[in-house]
């Protein structure tokens, strides 16, 4: 197949760059024609989208979750390419490419980002220990740094695409096609209709699951206490209301409601860190941090396509489709799905062997069945 490398694809003419992109592609082993990049800032609800797309679309979509080039290197150990170059590279290869980003209101996003690394980063301690701290201490630290954390918007600043003059407050999402790539902007506040939006865009049913919430982490008690007791200083709220992203993604009435929601939970004036003070805070915090910050079990669905994971995925989809509550045990992790399938098959075989007379070769059948499961043939 021949491709042209003009205009937007000129970067691929660089042979060294093309070699890095090919290396990236080899690591990901992308075979499907449709590729979805969930390319967003952290703590906006992106893991929920990833797990939902995997649960419902893993047979049709290759799904990649990325926040920035730092995360890209952590995943692939490849330097010298940008996320945007990778997105364009797959379009250059003739793939159908989608990019999804999510907007989350600033105060909630800042709180979530703060608690994401509150132990290892902000207090240099284990989350279980920080969970016992007095909430007043944690609130004071948050107010000091609040203006400087969880800022920016990928859709407006990272994608390099034309931005509509106004957000679509009726349909509650944006779909901008640029260079043959479909860029989708959602809002976390509309997550109750994400299923309808994404199902319409991709052409098949996609149910949405909540995923990776702070309420399920070791820090959950402090997090709940914080949300009950936190009152934002009035001057910090005034600054928030000037945010250009807030003023773009929220309609006038939504902004009014948002301001009212927090104004009734506001407090006295507070002096936060200056930019210089925060830079020093960040430098010292990183130097003092001795704990590895590793996110384990980040997604509800890890994306494995083996028989055991596919069966588990089907079970969870049925629960979602039937309106049943999804619990922390409803997840698609390969090791757990395989063990669950083994256990169920053992029960089934034991039941068969116990009710059928003359099942003399039952042990042989049992051993063969276990071998089939372990080796992915069942």
Single out the residue of 297, 298, 378 nearest to residue 338, CA to CA: 378
Torsion angle in degrees (nearest 10) through CA of 12, 15, 20, 22? 70
Q: Which pLDDT score, from 0 to 100, does residue 257 have?
A: 98
How big is the CA angle at 301 (ends 172 and 31), to the nearest 5 degrees?
A: 85
Can you give the pTM of this predicted structure? 0.83
SS3 call for 111: helix
Q: Which pLDDT score, from 0 to 100, does residue 356 have?
A: 58
Least confident of 147-161, 187-201, 330-344, 356-370: 356-370
Distance (Å) of CA 33 to CA 29, 158, 216, 373: 12, 24, 36, 29
Q: Which pLDDT score, from 0 to 100, does residue 213 have?
A: 60
Task: Assess whether pLDDT exceeds 60 at residue 359.
Answer: no
Q: Which pLDDT score, from 0 to 100, does residue 304 have?
A: 78
Q: Which pLDDT score, from 0 to 100, does residue 122 have?
A: 94
Q: Which pLDDT score, from 0 to 100, does residue 354 have?
A: 62
Structure-block tokens of residue 22? 């090919």
CA–CA distance, 281 with 145 (Å, rounded to integer): 9
Please, which pLDDT band fits residue 332 given cuts at 50, 70 and 90? confident
Task: Assess whether pLDDT exceeds 80 at residue 347.
Answer: no
How many residues in total does the chain contain? 378
Q: CB–CB of 64/28 below 8 Å? A: yes
Task: Assess whether pLDDT exceeds 50 at residue 315.
Answer: yes
User: Domain ranges in the chain?
Assistant: 7-288, 307-374
Per residue in 93-124, pLDDT (tens digit) is 999 999 999 999 999 999 999 999 899 899 99
Task: Assess whether pLDDT exceeds 50 at residue 5.
Answer: no
Per residue in 21-53, pLDDT (tens digit) is 999 999 888 889 999 999 999 999 999 999 999
Per residue in 224-242, pLDDT (tens digit) is 999 999 999 999 999 999 9
For the chain, give the percent of residues with pLDDT over 90. 62
Per residue in 265-283, pLDDT (tens digit) is 999 999 999 999 999 999 9
Per residue in 53-97, pLDDT (tens digit) is 999 999 999 999 999 998 888 888 899 999 999 999 999 999 999
For the chain, give the percent of residues with pLDDT over 70. 84
Q: Which pLDDT score, from 0 to 100, does residue 1 have?
A: 31
What is the residue-averaged pLDDT of the chain?
A: 86
What sign does the CA torsion over 140, 146, 148, 149 have? positive
Q: What is the DSSP string of 290-323?
A: -S-----S-SSB----SHHHHHHHHHHHHHHHTT
Please, which pLDDT band fits residue 6 given cuts at 50, 70 and 90? very low
Q: CB–CB of 307/378 below 8 Å? A: yes
Place of tokens 């990236």: 24
Q: CB–CB of 304/193 below 8 Å? A: no
pLDDT higher for 341 or 78?
78
CA–CA distance, 45 with 31 (Å, rounded to integer): 27
Phi-psi region of 172 (alpha: psi -120 to 50; beta: other; left: phi over 0): left
Q: Which pLDDT score, from 0 to 100, does residue 231 have?
A: 97
Q: Which pLDDT score, from 0 to 100, does residue 361 have?
A: 53
Q: CB–CB of 206/53 below 8 Å? A: yes
Q: Which pLDDT score, from 0 to 100, does residue 288 have?
A: 86
Q: Which pLDDT score, from 0 to 100, does residue 357 have?
A: 56
């Amino acid at each position: 197949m021949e491709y042209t490398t003009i205009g937007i694809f000129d970067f691929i003419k660089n042979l060294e760059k093309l070699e890095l992109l090919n290396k990236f592609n080899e690591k990901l082993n992308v075979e499907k024609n449709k590729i979805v990049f969930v390319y967003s800032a952290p703590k906006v609800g992106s893991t929920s989208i990833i797990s939902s797309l995997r649960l419902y679309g893993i047979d049709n979509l290759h799904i990649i979750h990325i926040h920035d080039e730092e995360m890209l290197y952590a995943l692939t150990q490849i330097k010298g390419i940008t996320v945007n170059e990778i997105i364009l590279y797959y379009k250059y290869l003739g793939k159908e490419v989608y990019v999804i980003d999510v907007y989350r209101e600033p105060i909630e996003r800042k709180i979530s980002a703060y608690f994401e690394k509150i132990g290892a980063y902000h207090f240099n301690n284990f989350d279980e220990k920080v969970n016992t701290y007095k909430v007043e201490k944690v609130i004071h630290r948050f107010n000091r740094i609040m203006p400087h954390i969880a800022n920016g918007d990928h859709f407006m600043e990272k994608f390099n695409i034309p931005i509509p003059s106004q957000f679509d407050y009726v349909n509650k999402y944006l779909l901008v096609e640029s260079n043959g790539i479909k860029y989708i902007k959602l809002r976390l506040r509309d997550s109750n209709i994400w299923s309808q939006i994404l199902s319409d865009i991709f052409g098949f049913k996609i149910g949405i699951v909540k995923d990776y919430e702070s309420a399920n982490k070791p820090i959950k008690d402090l997090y709940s206490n914080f949300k009950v007791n936190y009152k934002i200083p009035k001057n910090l709220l005034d600054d928030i209301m000037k945010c250009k992203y807030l003023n773009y993604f929220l309609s006038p009435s939504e902004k009014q409601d948002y301001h009212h929601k927090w104004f009734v939970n506001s407090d006295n004036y507070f002096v936060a860190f200056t930019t210089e003070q925060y830079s020093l805070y960040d430098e010292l915090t990183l130097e003092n941090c001795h704990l590895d910050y590793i996110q384990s079990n980040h997604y509800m669905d890890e994306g494995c396509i083996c028989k055991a994971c596919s069966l588990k995925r089907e079970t969870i989809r049925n629960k979602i489709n039937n309106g049943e509550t999804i619990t922390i045990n409803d997840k698609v992790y390969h090791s757990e799905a395989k063990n669950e399938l083994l256990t169920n098959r053992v029960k089934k075989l034991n039941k068969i062997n116990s009710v059928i007379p003359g099942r003399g070769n039952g042990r042989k059948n049992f051993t063969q069945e276990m071998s089939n499961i372990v080796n992915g043939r069942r």
